[in-house]
Amino acid sequence: MVDIDKAVIARLTKNGKTFEVLVDCEKALEFRKGNVELDEALATDDIFSDVKQDEKPSEEDLREVFKTLDMKEIAAAILKHGEIQLTTEHRSKLREELRKKIIELIRKNSIDSRTNLPHPRERIERAFEEKRVRIDEFKTAEQQMKDVAREINDILPLKFEVRELSVKISSEFAGKVFGNLKQLAKVLGSDWLDDGSLLARVEIPAGMQPDLEDQMNKLTHGNVEIKVINAR
């Protein structure tokens, strides 16, 4: 179990009633992801209605909300569905991780609306700093990406676009690199041509096109032709 002096509160409010347990902040979040066992996250097996007042809920309230009196089942439900109090250190760490993920999502999925070229990661980072973008640690990077993009759009024009590409790989490399192509993009269709070369139709976020081109050129020593055939 966790050192109780370092524990934080995980709280679930349901049917107008509050239920709390003491947990390790980091391990409680890892338990939610399925990475650790419940006992590793808990500081105590006790269920409270108010930890600070040392008040505990009645058995009637526990049965009504959780349909059980098994304290481990109840604690697991609180951790999975409740709110976990974050330490200042963990809050800062989580925000930084999310900031990096959001920047990478914007880089991969968007392009400059003026030039139709991807924005470099450093340019997006500068826009974050200039706009003092605030990251919400309780939302995923995916949930925040579009809102953040709108926030920085006045200084960093963005357009989210998906492109359909034609990729022709010479016969010498087609068989070897087709697997790599499938890892880099969604393959919509492919045909083996009479000369042994491969012609594939793939879909990819616009910002990732340069990455795909770089990888394909390296793997084929430049024996690849890539064209944009559609964008939306």
**Alpha-carbon span 34 to 13, nearest angstrom:** 22
Class for domain 88-160, per CATH?
mainly alpha
pLDDT in tens, the chain (232 residues): 677 778 999 999 999 999 999 999 999 999 998 999 999 999 998 999 999 999 999 999 999 999 999 999 999 999 999 999 998 888 899 999 999 999 999 999 999 999 999 999 999 999 999 999 999 988 899 999 999 999 999 999 999 999 999 999 999 999 999 999 999 999 999 999 999 999 999 999 999 999 999 999 999 999 999 999 999 9
Residue-level pLDDT at 5: 75
Domain boundaries, the chain: 4-84, 88-160, 162-231
Bridge-based pairing state of the strands 198-205 and 186-192: antiparallel
Beta bridge partners of 157: none
**Alpha-carbon span 185 to 80, nearest angstrom:** 34
Bridge-based pairing state of the strands 158-160 and 162-169: unpaired
Residue-level pLDDT at 1: 60
CATH architecture of the domain formed by 4-84: 2-Layer Sandwich (3.30)
Instruction: For the sheet with 17-23, list strands across it.
Output: 17-23, 8-14, 83-84
Residue-level pLDDT at 105: 97
Count of all residues that appear for the chain in the document: 232
Is residue 121 within 8 Å of residue 149, measured between CB atoms? no
Give this prediction's pTM. 0.74
Residue-level pLDDT at 159: 95
**Alpha-carbon span 124 to 127, nearest angstrom:** 5
**Alpha-carbon span 36 to 17, nearest angstrom:** 28
Cα 43 to chain center, whole Å? 28
Class for domain 162-231, per CATH?
alpha beta
